[in-house]
Amino acid sequence: MEKLLVTAIQRFSTHDGPGVRTTVFLKGCPLNCFWCHNPETKDLKNEVLFTPADCIGCMACASVCPSGAHEFENETHILRRDLCMSCMSCVSVCPSSACEAAAAEMTVDEILREVIKDKVFFGDNGGITLSGGEPLIRKEAVELLKAAKDMGLNTTVETCGQVPREILIDALKYTDFFYWDIKDTDSARHKLNTGAGNEKIISNLILADSMGALTAVRCIMVKGVNTDDKNIRGIAKILSDLKNCKAVEFMPYHAFGGSKATLLGLEDNGDKSLIPSDEEMALVKARLAELLKLYGVSNISVL
């Protein structure tokens, strides 16, 4: 079994499902949303997170780098991303936190050993949440869910839905709850902003729902991008067809992803002008609630 690339294991997570949870962030995502707030989880392969401000100028990295990607000029340390092969040699010798790996390679067992440390706090409801990136693009993630279930943990998955059907069907057996993103109901716009259309995401959601998967649908709201009434109507329409959806959560775009992007040598993608106001968020929620009422949907709470 292949190892998983884990960007973080976050204990005492209280926003990713019921109770106290440990959230495991896996690297790699099939989508490429321009507003992504976890850019270090996008790429399928490991990467160097580079923080020049933390460099103490010891040049240990330059001495081990096989491709000459670490350049020091006039006491400035530059990481040439075009040369970097992500071999992580620099990470292993850097004494400070200037060169760090975006992810650690871990087996399912190693991950579980970390997760189980907080079992005493999980109680009846808490457990493990898989997030990312997109967890359900690797069959090992299903192994992880299965092993967690075997240990009596509640399992939750945060998915973008753009996942292979066979992995999804397998995962359904071991997953207690899904947070399912619907980023945009306009497929053309979805393709433009995330790199893929939304057809697979929506058909997967309907399939999972029909097989009894409990879900909360999450909709990111990016000001001027997908906050229009047509999208809200589209969301309402999809929700009205679901039997096992418990809630819909509207999440305002935030710009914090930009700080991480720069560590990857990417442009700061944070753009404060895209943050919807509290009033806009309230309007969107009210509109959806109104539409759900119109469709006779009463089992979905709007959060």
Partner 1 sequence: MIFGTASKNERPVRLSESTRQFAYESLHGKYGDEAVSHGAVTLDDVEDFDMLDDYGKYDIAVRRIAEQAPLRITESERVCGAATLGLAIRHVVPATRNGNAVYGSMSHLTCGFDRAVNEGIDEYEKRIDLRLSDTENLDQRQIRFLQSLRNTVASMRIWHKRYLDATKDSRPDLYENLKVVPFSKPRNFHQAVQSLWFCFAFTRLCGNWPGLGRIDEYLGEYLKRDLRDGKITTDEAREILASMFIKGCEWIESDTAPGSGDAQHYQNIVLGGLGPDGIDITNEVTYLVLDIVEELPIGDFPITVRLSKNSPEKLYRRVCEVQRHGGGVVAVYNEELILKAMTDAGYRYSEALRFANDGCWEVQVPGKTYFTYIPFDSLSILQRRVLKKDGKDIEYESFDSLYACFKDELGKTVFDLCSGVQNAWVKDGKWLPKFPMSVVALFEDGCIENARDYGEGGPVYNVVSPHIGGAPDVGNSLYVIDKLCFKEKRLTLKELYQALSDNWQGYEALRQYVTNKLTYYGNDCDESDSYTVRVIDDFAEITHSYHSDEINFVPGVSTFGRQIEWAPVREAVPFGFKKGDILSGNLSPTPGTDAAGATAIIKSYCKSNLVRQTTGAALDIKLFPSSVEGENGLEAMIALIKGFIALGGFFMQTDVVDAETLRAAQENPKEYKTLSVRVSGWNARFVTLNKEWQQMIIERTEQGI
Mask for 28-67, x = binds partner 1 (CB under 8 A) = ----------------------------x-x-x-------
Stretch of 93-101, 102-110, 155-163, 238-246 lying at the interface with partner 1 (CB under 8 A): 93-101
User: Which residues pair with residue 100 across a beta bridge?
Assistant: 49
Structure tokens at 231: 């999208």
Helices (H) and strands (E) in the chain, counts: 11, 13
CA atoms within 13 Å, Cβ hemisphere of 289: 11
What's the min distance (Å) between Cβ of 54 and partner 1? 8
What's the min distance (Å) between Cβ of 114 and partner 1? 9
Say how many C-beta atoms besides its own lie within 10 A of residue 28's C-beta: 19
What's the min distance (Å) between Cβ of 11 and partner 1? 5
Q: Is residue 278 a contact residue for partner 1 (CB under 8 A)?
A: no
Alpha helices in the chain, H assignment, sequence order: 60-64, 89-93, 108-115, 119-122, 139-150, 165-172, 187-194, 199-210, 229-240, 257-263, 278-294
CA pair distance 59, 70, nearest whole angstrom: 8
Q: Is residue 10 a contact residue for partner 1 (CB under 8 A)?
A: yes
Q: Which of 52, 68, 123, 152 binds partner 1 (CB under 8 A)?
A: 123
Q: Which of 3, 11, 233, 293 binds partner 1 (CB under 8 A)?
A: 11
Residue that is written with structure tokens 């992007």 in the block: 261
Q: Is residue 118 a contact residue for partner 1 (CB under 8 A)?
A: yes
Q: Which of 1, 2, 3, 12 binds partner 1 (CB under 8 A)?
A: 12
The three-class DSSP label of residue 187 is helix
Q: At what angle do helices 165-172 and 199-210 cross, to 10 degrees?
A: 30
Task: Kindly tell me which of 59 and 211 has the beta carbon lying closer to partner 1.
Answer: 59
Stretch of 94-102, 131-139, 145-153, 264-272 lying at the interface with partner 1 (CB under 8 A): 94-102
Binding site for partner 1 (CB under 8 A): 10-12, 14-15, 18-20, 56, 58, 60, 95-97, 117-118, 120-123, 125-126
